[in-house]
Structure 1
Amino acid sequence: MDGRRLTRRGAYMMFVSRGSAAEEIKPETLPALVSQALEGIAGAGRVVAVPPDITRFHSRAGAITDLVYTALGPKLAAVLPALGTHASMTASEIATMYPGTPAALFRVHNWRRDPVELDRIPASFVREVGEGVVDYDYPVQANGSLVRGGPYDAIISIGQVVPHEVVGMANHAKNIFVGTGGKEAIDRSHFLGAAYGMEKMMGRADTPVRRVFNRAFELARGKLAPILWILTVMGRNEAGALVMRGFFAGDDVECFERAAALSRLVNIDQLDENVDKAIVWLDPSEFRSTWLGNKAVYRTRMAMADGGELIIMAPGLAHFGEDAGID
């Protein structure tokens, strides 16, 4: 996978497509890749970056955001972490994950107050893609500052594509419509995934929830500021070190599809037999709630034998949800 300016679907573009199961994209290579990606918003005035919070620390989104700031300077007007319902980042977390980006640029998404509704996906569509497991419509929501004609001329959505329990493969449109969405959008997308069954979705790029997000992107495209997607794929090398296997950037869904295909190769372990006992360690710097810590269950459940034992070591566990009001 190596190429630039791969035209698809009329005017939509892939700006960077690099990666394979064997490739290690070195840190010194990132500036050139980010520079190529930023050609996708050439001419934009005020830009907002939408990267993940500290729970996606290993995505390398921090380094990429720092490089975006280095390249754009004052054109990078704000950084809006895609919190969803997660707790806002602390000053220490921002300094740790984004050391090269001024803390003054960071904004906090409030999922109760900040989203606006851009459109609505009819219940008939949700029911069809979900094979009848739910019967409700879906609100297309995003942070109000991201709308076309608002304070920003372009959006850079940055994050990692990795197997995910709700949508099958994380990121792309989910980063905007859940990461900067509101209660109804978050609740309905997550319940659709739960009702459909995460065992049928984990590690798959084409799922009912993904189809809803893709449809949301189609409906919202003319209502949001133009979006440049920058997506990474991370994996471990033979020495066990976490390395970047892929870097993809574009303004359409193709960059996600390519990243998801690579993630499926490097982020899923196929076992010859089920596991009778598993021990999962949750990094205390990332996992401080059962809401996030439950990933230890989601990501092992298909591998566990009937009657198997799962032991979760979570030294950073401090609360149930990511929100004091919900707790």
Structure 2
Amino acid sequence: MAQSPPPVLSEAEVRQWFATQVPLDDFRGKRVLLIIPDATRTAPLPLLFDALFHRLRPVVAQFDVLVALGTHPPLSETQICKLLGITEDERQKLFFQTGLFNHEWDREDRLLNLGTLTKDETSELSGGLLSLEVPVKINSRIKDYDTLLVLGPVFPHEVVGFSGGNKYFFPGIAGAEILNFFHWLGALITNHEIIGVKDTPVRRVVDRAASLIPVERRAITFAVAADASLHGLCYGTPEVAWNGAADLSSQIHIKRYPKPFKQVLSCAPPMYDELWVAGKCMYKLEPVVADSGELIIYAPHMHEVSIVHGRLIKEIGYHVRDYFTKQWDKFKDYPWGVLAHSTHVRGGGTFENGVERPRVQVTLASAISPEECAKINLGYRDPATINVESFADRENEGILLVRKAGEYLYRLG
């Protein structure tokens, strides 16, 4: 029998949790850098930020915010304020001393080299899949603070198993080398094998890289429902807080079905405005699509493949893992994180004797043109031809509708 999720917390209960579970002595007199997700994650950040700020502001020496963008596009200050629930008037008065920063992964002058993962280390951590030296770089702002405090949700994740915790450092505020390394490691293992698993080689890489950070680390992690209501919060080191929230996530975010579906309509929420993030609509549902079935990413609002990586994706297209591994000399010099994204969106399949056979058909129903879809090796469907409600309540026919895809994992069994 499936375990019932923990109850939803009221706003009063959330504020009481901060008042009792976040120890002031951990932050007293310290310069604190708060690390948060961008707008591509469901989270009640205005409530959480307000509760945290009023808890810590009286005792800290400094309190600034860094958005863990990874390689996502930067946010304007107005967008960061909206994300945190800060009004224009509050920015000028209550928060005038609070620095609001974006991570800058592609600026070498904004990165600090923490050291190197050796060939022996990467071989051991990856179970022998990869063996190479990997520089570990992180946003250089960390050296100006006494404590780095992560505030972010935990979900099943296609690269690391479950998101959150030290992932807010790597890749959240990291340099490209470590990011490319472990994303490709996840691709080699495959989304299907790694998603929703706590102990993974990629998580070990992330935790090992985080151990090199010479600044105290703390985290507030949480499990959140599709409507942004909270089921629970955890505080401690990133490892401890992540472990607790991942256990909650495994209760809340994994849905099981007895048999696969021949067609899935996976609706991308507005926060996924490019395929780089809307690919989650495939990652989380790939396990329940039948062989030769179709998954439709329905995103009428989506115009971009990727603002940052679009040119490269259009060069290589979307392909199964073995398309790259069996032609490695041709693709090895592309950023491995881009290759990993490609394989995750395309899903499982084979590449034999020059013929690629994906396990499922991935179709875009978005504002991306049919010509561009063909160029990147994905199917196209005009979103205007789709009546979402016509997919509802047809699971007994082998058709599944997911109204807000991308965060809940769907599995067989």
| Aligned with residue 135 of structure 2, among 136, 139, 142 | 139
Alignment of 1:173-322 (within 5 A): 173-220=166-213, 223=214, 225-235=215-225, 241-284=227-270, 286-322=271-307
Q: 1:68 to 1:232 in 2, by over 3 A?
A: same
Distance in 2 of aligned mates of 1:38 and 1:62: 21
Q: CA offset at residue 277 of structure 1?
A: 1.0
Residue-by-residue CA offset, 1:203-252 (whole Å, 9 max, x unaligned)? 111001001111122232xx1x212100011136xxxx552111000025
Q: Percent identity?
A: 27
Aligned length: 296
Q: Does structure 1 residue 126 correspond to structure 2 residue 116?
A: no
Q: CA offset at residue 279 of structure 1?
A: 0.7
Q: CA offset at residue 181 of structure 1?
A: 0.3
Alignment of 1:97-176 (within 5 A): 97-100=83-86, 102=91, 105-113=99-107, 114-147=110-143, 151-176=144-169
Q: For residue 308 of structure 1, what is the amino acid of its counterpart?
A: G
Contact 2:24/2:56 (8 A) holds in 1: no
Counterpart in 1 of 2:82? 96
Contact 2:154/2:162 (8 A) holds in 1: yes
Q: 1:280 to 1:210 in 2, by over 3 A?
A: same
Q: CA offset at residue 59 of structure 1?
A: 2.0
Secondary structure class of the residue paired with 1:97:
helix
Q: Tell which deviates more after alignment, 167-176 or 67-76.
A: 67-76
* Structure 2 unmatched runs, 5+: 313-413
Secondary structure class of the residue paired with 1:219:
coil
Q: For residue 146 of structure 1, what is the amino acid of its counterpart?
A: I
Contact 1:134/1:195 (8 A) holds in 2: no
Provide TM-score, normalisation by structure 1: 0.84
RMSD: 2.2
Distance in 1 of aligned mates of 2:150 and 2:178: 18
Distance in 1 of aligned mates of 2:286 and 2:133: 30
- Highest CA radius of gyration, 1 or 2? 2
Q: CA offset at residue 322 of structure 1?
A: 4.0
Secondary structure class of the residue paired with 1:269:
strand
Secondary structure class of the residue paired with 1:215:
helix
Distance in 2 of aligned mates of 1:302 and 1:124: 33
Residue-by-residue CA offset, 1:92-126 (whole Å, 9 max, x unaligned)? 43233211373763112110122212122222222
Q: For residue 139 of structure 1, what is the amino acid of its counterpart?
A: P
**Does 1 or 2 have the higher relative contact order (CA < 8 Å, sep 6+)?**
1
Q: For residue 297 of structure 2, what is the amino acid of its counterpart?
A: I
Secondary structure class of the residue paired with 1:119:
strand
Q: For residue 230 of structure 1, what is the amino acid of its counterpart?
A: I
| Aligned with residue 83 of structure 1, among 69, 77, 93 | 69
| Aligned with residue 323 of structure 1, among 287, 308, 331 | 308
Q: 1:52 to 1:314 in 2, by over 3 A?
A: same
Q: CA offset at residue 64 of structure 1?
A: 1.4
Q: Tell which deviates more after alignment, 136-145 or 166-175.
A: 136-145
Q: CA offset at residue 272 of structure 1?
A: 0.5
Q: For residue 24 of structure 2, what is the amino acid of its counterpart?
A: E
Residue-by-residue CA offset, 1:56-89 (whole Å, 9 max, x unaligned)? 1x22234212222222337443110101101112
Q: 1:89 to 1:137 in 2, by over 3 A?
A: same
Secondary structure class of the residue paired with 2:211:
helix
Alignment of 1:22-37 (within 5 A): 22-35=6-19, 36-37=21-22
Contact 1:165/1:202 (8 A) holds in 2: yes
Residue-by-residue CA offset, 1:155-175 (whole Å, 9 max, x unaligned)? 111101110001000011110
Q: CA offset at residue 40 of structure 1?
A: 5.8
Q: 1:136 to 1:61 in 2, by over 3 A?
A: farther
Contact 2:198/2:246 (8 A) holds in 1: yes
Distance in 2 of aligned mates of 1:324 and 1:115: 20
Residue-by-residue CA offset, 1:9-37 (whole Å, 9 max, x unaligned)? xxxxxxxxxxx822211122222222322
Provide TM-score, normalisation by structure 2: 0.67
Distance in 1 of aligned mates of 2:156 and 2:149: 22
Contact 1:47/1:155 (8 A) holds in 2: yes
